[in-house]
Amino acid sequence: MPTNKMSSALAAACALMLSACGGGGSSSDTPAPPVTPAALTIGGTAATGAAMAGASVQIKCAGGSGSATSATDGSFSTSITDAALPCALSATSSDGKTTLRSVAPAGTATSATANITPLSEIIVAQVAGGDAGALFSSFDAAAQAKLSSTNVASAVTTVAAALKGTIDLSGVNPLSDALVATGGGKTGNALDQKLDALGAALKAGGSSVADVAAALLANPGAPAVVQTLLQPAATSCAALRSGKFHLLDAYDGERPVSLATVDASALTVKEADGTILTFAPVSGSACAYTAGDGKVSAYVAKSGVIVVRYLDDAATARAALLVPDQSVPLSEMAGTWNIAIYGIDEFGGPAAPYFSVQTLDKTSLSTAGADCVGLNACESWIPRATDIFTVDTTEGGFTHADDEGSGRLFPVKTATGQIALFGMLFDTQKRPIGLVFFSKQTALSLPTVGAVDNFWDMQVNSAGIAQAVADTQTTIQSVDTSAGSYTRIRTSDGRVDGFTLNKPRDGMRYRAAGSSVGTNGKTITFGATLNTPLPGMGLTVYSSLTTDAATNFFGISIGKP
């Protein structure tokens, strides 16, 4: 018998209904109402300090996405069907010049606040462990997994610590706290004022939100690096920033190590005895200054370290360093360091160069060490329990003391995470022995043929007299990759010399004694040197290989920023 297609269809439909057909129900029963899909409501304020009016806000959440346009006061709100936390947000200003990101962490709530500001951009970069924009763009399972409430809260705490001294975020959550931005007839609230303060600090320091975010990622344990980045910078030199500095002056018998205060806006340095030096920029030479009626000259490296030459009289001048005060944890000391020293020996003779190698653990305890002479193999020594540095909570930096003397070291970290240590050594009578420089043992890379290097060069002889600073330019002439060496030519006189990299140790370079014919046709001779570049600092320290008081010397080269 033929199948009744209509009856079959009706039976199938009945099977899908909640009350069965022919099972005692009535055709007049009302069907169950459709289930309403879940929705997530998300809103906040987009602002840079001033409201981002008319900004295009894009929102990506677990399970759904949406968009909104901010009002004149920067506020926005939207509901996204079938969406759940976590969410990532992006706001682009109406002129298309500014894009900032924010997040709402994972949770079970059906509504969330996620302000989009420069602070949220820094926080998102911290959560992402990199580019905030990449986290928003992908928003895949890996990106969503980073947005746990714990991770986001930790990032907020880290950013607050880094910005301490610029803005106070104690007890503040920039992502979810109420934000009233200036705009649309409204006056900004306390959180908005913090955004204004951050913006002012960025402008004064010549830095960007991206600079701060990157510096924080590169220096997770040293928020002082970000704090340095937010200090006001001189208009004549971006590397010269306001703040506390450690003045290291080995030939100042009264205060070989002291604190000084730099005001980059006023171009002044106030020394510990109250002396105020006012810097005057050297015409045509950014980051070079004179002070004290020409008796003081100063050169600022890109790391902010300042090399100073004090002219005491017509025949005597001394070299000193102004090192930015940074609070860096002892764990940053872990690693193997090249150490260059220029100072007197235990018998009080003339100054001479000394080199050593030391390996420190994360507590700064020495686990290995060796003294080194020239190109000879280093002579190892057995570390002692006293071979450890401690944090100086009063004057900053690290201290070390044993029965042979003591030392003060001051760390400088760059925004990219490179570190060097600058310090002073003392004998058992607390008399200064000389300057000391620590640089981590990292292999150097060969330069490129044709590369030009511009720097200031200052040499100090064995009597401690700093010679006049030379404004120097060199050009890489040739590179030998198999030998790991290169030659360069000096613009001023045509002298050609050369270096072998990572000799005698990684992170150092050696120049053999030699001679070349200069542009005037005369032969120019030069001695052997060992150079220790301080990566990221814009500084290289070097010494002659002779300890003969008549000919030995120490030098500092300051790369022009």
DSSP 117-162: SHHHHHHHHHHHTS-HHHHHHH--HHHHHTT-HHHHHHHHHHHHHH
pLDDT of residue 352: 86
Helices 149-162 + 118-128 axis angle, to 10: 120
Give residue-wise pLDDT tens across range 288-308: 999 999 999 999 999 999 999
pLDDT of residue 10: 28
Quote the tokens at residue 125.
């970069």
State whether residue 270 is helix, strand or coil.
Answer: strand
Residues 398 and 321: their CA atoms lie apart, in Å, by 17
Report whether 511 contacts 529 (CB < 8 A).
yes
Q: Hey, which residues does 530 pair with through a beta bridge?
A: 510, 543
Q: Which DSSP letter does residue 361 get?
A: -
Residues 247 and 426: their CA atoms lie apart, in Å, by 15
Residues 422 and 248: their CA atoms lie apart, in Å, by 9
pLDDT of residue 33: 56
What residue ranges of the chain have pLDDT lower than 70? 1-37, 314, 345-348
Report whether 560 contacts 551 (CB < 8 A).
no
Residues 296 and 318: their CA atoms lie apart, in Å, by 10
Residues 339 and 358: their CA atoms lie apart, in Å, by 8
Residue 12, H or E segment:
helix 5-16
Report CA dihedral (407, 268, 561, 311) to the nearest 10 degrees: -70
Helices 209-218 + 149-162 axis angle, to 10: 110
Residues 333 and 407: their CA atoms lie apart, in Å, by 15
Sheet with 432-440, side-by-side order of all strands: 379-381, 366-372, 352-360, 335-343, 432-440, 419-426, 405-413, 398-402, 390-391
Residue 374, H or E segment:
none
**Cα 265 to Cα 89, 194, 256, distances in angstroms:** 38, 22, 27
Residue 482, H or E segment:
none
Please count the other Cβ atoms lying within 10 Å of the Cβ belonging to residue 516: 17
Q: Which DSSP letter does residue 561 get?
A: -
Please count the other Cβ atoms lying within 10 Å of the Cβ belonging to residue 63: 14
Using the CB atoms, write b or e for 274-294: b if 16+ within 10 Å.
eeebebebbeeeebbbbbeee
Residues 364 and 369: their CA atoms lie apart, in Å, by 13
The answer to whether the pTM exceeds 0.85 is yes
Residues 87 and 134: their CA atoms lie apart, in Å, by 14
Nearest to 528 by CA among 491, 557, 503, 505: 503
pLDDT of residue 32: 56
Half-sphere exposure (CA, 13 Å, Cβ side) for 110?
A: 6
Nearest to 411 by CA among 401, 397, 393: 397
Q: Which DSSP letter does residue 330 get?
A: G
**In the CATH scheme, what is the code of domain 39-218?**
2.60.40.10
Chain length of the chain: 561
Nearest to 271 by CA among 320, 318, 234: 320
Residues 479 and 498: their CA atoms lie apart, in Å, by 10
Task: Provide the phi-psi class of 364: left if phi over 0, else alpha when psi is between -120 and 50, else beta.
Answer: left
Report whether 263 contacts 278 (CB < 8 A).
no
